[in-house]
Amino acid sequence: MKTKSVVLLLILFLLAAIKMDAKIVIPGGEEEYLPMAEVMPEPVDGMAGIMKKMVYPPIAKSAGMEGRVIVMAFINERGGVDDVKIIKGLGGGCNEEVEKVLKVSKFKPGINEGKPVKVKLTMSFVFKK
């Protein structure tokens, strides 16, 4: 009987945590990326190189959509982009374009104490006619 009570309490706790939008920490997740490094990651070809790859989505352009897409890019210790999360989106395909271009871009990795490290990097991209 005690086992059923413990299991029931655990289930209720998890449901309450989900209902309250509590974050459950999963090993190997976002927490292993540093918010800052002694040397921050930067695009190998510079921001100009990334912007050259960017295509203003035709839907957004024809609708006259203009604005900024702000993202969090998760750069690994080899300079690859593991993930991209939209912080502030624009829509019309702009968010997807930024995500697509960043995921194929190469970065100089962040450095701490002379060693490459995983770093979260906030980036902003402006779409304007």
Residuewise pLDDT in 10s, the chain (129 residues) = 555 554 444 454 544 444 444 333 333 566 799 999 999 999 999 999 999 999 999 999 999 999 999 999 999 999 999 999 999 999 999 999 999 999 999 999 999 999 999 999 999 999 998
What confidence score (pLDDT) does residue 5 get?
54
Closest CA to 106 of 89, 71, 82: 82
What confidence score (pLDDT) does residue 108 get?
97
CB 117 within 8 A of CB 67: no
What confidence score (pLDDT) does residue 29 get?
60
Helix (H) or strand (E) holding 37: none
Residue 59 is part of a domain; what is its CATH number?
Answer: 3.30.2420.10
Write down the pTM of the prediction.
Answer: 0.74
Asked whether residue 69 is assigned to any structural domain, the reply reads: yes
Paired sense of beta strands 107-108 and 42-43, if any: antiparallel
Asked whether residue 33 is assigned to any structural domain, the reply reads: yes
Q: Which residues contact 70 (CB under 8 A, 6 or more apart)?
A: 86, 87, 88, 122, 123, 124, 125
d(CA 92, CA 29): 29
Q: What is the CA radius of gyration of the chain?
A: 20
Asked whether residue 49 is assigned to any structural domain, the reply reads: yes
Asked whether residue 16 is assigned to any structural domain, the reply reads: no
Asked whether residue 11 is assigned to any structural domain, the reply reads: no
Per the structure, how many domains does the chain have?
1
Asked whether residue 102 is assigned to any structural domain, the reply reads: yes
Asked whether residue 17 is assigned to any structural domain, the reply reads: no
What confidence score (pLDDT) does residue 31 get?
74
What confidence score (pLDDT) does residue 70 get?
97
Asked whether residue 10 is assigned to any structural domain, the reply reads: no
| Residue ranges making up the domain that contains 39 | 27-127
